[in-house]
Amino acid sequence: MLVDEPLISVIIPFYNRIDKLILTLNSVLLQSYKNYEILLIDDCSFEDISKINNFLINDNIFYYRNLINSGPGFSRNFALEKARGEYIAFLDSDDLWLQDKLKIQIQYMISKNINFCHTSYIKKINTHKKNINFNTGFINYFYPLPLFTCHIAMPTVIIKKSILNNLNFQNDLRFMEDTFFWYQLSKKTLLYGLNKKLSVINTNINSSYLNKKMIINARKQIKKKLYNENYLIYCLFSLYLKIRNIINL
C-alpha cells in the first residue's frame, strides 16, 4: 500500500445490461490501487441479476436497489450519502478502467493538492468496431465554462468528497445531469484535467439520434434552472443555444 492511500468510493449506477456490468466490475477489481469500496445502485433492473451474486460476497462491494426507476442522478445522489471514502470516483455500468487508473489519478490529485480531476479517455464505438482517442484531459474548466463546452466523461472523474458539501445531481435531469453538476461544482473549485487516457467509454453510434433529442430537452430544462439561479448566465446560455441552433449543432 502507498504511504498516502485514501479510501475511494466507486459509484456505479446500473439498469439491466448485467453482462456489461460484470466487465465493468472486473475492471475495478483489477485495479493496482486497492483501497476502495464499490457502491452498486440498481435502478430497478428487470433483468436477472444473479450473475453478480459472486461479486456481492466481497466486503468492499455494497448493493442497493431503487424502489422505482429513478435515473442516474438519483442513483448517484443516494450513493453519495452512503459513501465513506475521502474521494469519490464515478463509473458507468458499460465502461471500463485501465488497470492503473485509480493509482495514477489519485497520486496526481494528492501531489497537486486538487479537489477534482478528469482525464482523457478512449471512446470505443461498438457498431463500427473502432476506437477513438479523446485527449480532453488537457482542459481545466472554470466557472461557468462547463455549461458551454464540456468534454468531461463521467468515468474519468475523481472528486474529493469534502468539496461537494451537499451538492447533488439534479434528480429531474435524465440527460446532461453530469454537465449541470460540473457547472455547479465549478463555482466551488477549478476542474483540473490530466491528459492521460485511463478509461474506455463504450458507445453505440445508432443511439446518436435519440441522444440528440434528449440533449435538446435537457438544455431546455437547464435553461429554466438558470433563470431562477443566475439571470446573466441564463441570458448567455440562451444566446449560446440560439447560436447552436443557427449552425445546427
Crossing angle of the two packed helices 177-185 and 208-229, in degrees rounded to 10 = 40
The single residue listed with the C-alpha cell 435531469 is 173
Q: How many domains does the chain have?
A: 2
Domain assignment of residue 102, yes or no? yes
Asked whether the predicted pLDDT for residue 183 surpasses 90, the reply is: yes
Domain assignment of residue 171, yes or no? yes
Residue 166 has a pLDDT of: 86
- Same domain for 25 and 38: yes
What mean pLDDT comes out for the span 168-194? 95
- Same domain for 145 and 210: no
Asked whether the predicted pLDDT for residue 206 surpasses 70, the reply is: no
Q: Is the peptide bond before 6 cis (omega within 30 degrees of 0)?
A: no
State the amino acid at position 176 in one-letter form. M
* Rounded CA separation 241/209 (Å): 18
pLDDT band at residue 214 under the 50/70/90 scheme: confident
* Rounded CA separation 64/74 (Å): 12
Residue 229 has a pLDDT of: 92
Whose CA is closest to 147, among 113, 108, 174, 187?
187
8-state DSSP, 130: E
Whose CA is closest to 109, among 194, 196, 197, 167?
194
Distance of CA 192 to the CA centre of its chain: 15
* Rounded CA separation 135/20 (Å): 25
Q: Is 162 helix (H, G, I), strand (E, B) or coil?
A: helix
Domain assignment of residue 3, yes or no? no
Q: What is the pLDDT of residues 218-246, one digit of tens each?
A: 999 999 999 999 999 999 999 999 998 88
- Same domain for 79 and 64: yes
* Rounded CA separation 183/27 (Å): 29
- Same domain for 198 and 156: yes
Residue 215 has a pLDDT of: 86
* Rounded CA separation 207/223 (Å): 24
- Same domain for 47 and 154: yes
CB atoms within 10 A of CB 210: 11
- Same domain for 191 and 248: no
- Same domain for 230 and 168: no
Residue 1 has a pLDDT of: 46
Q: What is the CATH number of the domain that holds 177?
A: 3.90.550.10
- Same domain for 216 and 104: no
Average pLDDT, the chain: 93
- Same domain for 100 and 214: no
Asked whether the predicted pLDDT for residue 7 surpasses 70, the reply is: yes
Residue 116 has a pLDDT of: 98
Domain assignment of residue 93, yes or no? yes
Asked whether the predicted pLDDT for residue 2 surpasses 60, the reply is: no
**Torsion-angle region of residue 71: left (phi > 0), alpha (psi -120 to 50) or beta?**
left
- Same domain for 213 and 158: no
Asked whether the predicted pLDDT for residue 184 surpasses 70, the reply is: yes
State the amino acid at position 124 in one-letter form. K
Asked whether the predicted pLDDT for residue 54 surpasses 70, the reply is: yes
- Same domain for 169 and 51: yes
Whose CA is closest to 179, among 96, 237, 112?
237
Domain assignment of residue 79, yes or no? yes
Is residue 217 within 8 Å of residue 241, measured between CB atoms? Answer: no
Q: How far is CA 34 from CA 20, 54, 55, in A?
A: 22, 19, 16
- Same domain for 241 and 145: no
Domain assignment of residue 2, yes or no? no
Domain assignment of residue 1, yes or no? no
Cell of 159: 472528486
Q: What is the pLDDT of residues 61-118, one digit of tens each?
A: 999 999 999 999 999 999 999 999 999 999 999 999 999 999 999 999 999 999 999 9
pLDDT band at residue 216 under the 50/70/90 scheme: confident
Q: Which residue would you say has higher pLDDT here, 37 or 202?
A: 37
pLDDT band at residue 133 under the 50/70/90 scheme: very high
Is residue 187 within 8 Å of residue 226, measured between CB atoms? Answer: no
Residue 210: give the domain boundaries: 206-249
Domain assignment of residue 41, yes or no? yes
